[in-house]
Amino acid sequence: MADGIVILTTSTFDETVASSEQPIVVDFWAEWCGPCKLIAPILGEIAAEQPGITIAKVNVDENPDIAMRYNVMSIPTLLVFDKGDVRKRLVGAKGKGQLLQELNEFLPTSR
C-alpha cells in the first residue's frame, strides 16, 4: 500500500473487492496517461482524509483482463464498489471537490 492506496492486480482484485468492509474506489490508470497523473495526488489526499472509504489502483497495462471485465474503455475510470458490486462509474480526471461530491453517498457521514 502506497500512501494509503491499495495496489490491485489480477491475483488480488476479486478477493480485495469482495471482502472490503467499506466502499472501495478503484482507479483504472496507466503510466502514460496524463489525466491519470493529475488525479493520482487527489486520490492520495482522499485516501488519507477519508478513513471510511478505500482507494485502490489497477494498472490497465499490467492487468488488462480486469479492465476488459469492467468495460473500461477510457482512463482514468473510477469504479466504486460497495459490498462487492459496482455502484458508480466515474470517467475522466476530476478536481478534488467534484470527486468528493461524486463520492459523498459512499462516505461514512452520509451512510
Q: Which residues are catalytic?
A: 33, 36
Say if residues 74 and 39 touch (Cβ distance below 8 Å).
no
Determine if the peptide bond prior to 41 is cis (ω within 30°).
no
Residue 85's DSSP bridge partners are 82
Q: From the CB of residue 30, how many other CB atoms can be counted at a distance below 10 Å?
A: 15
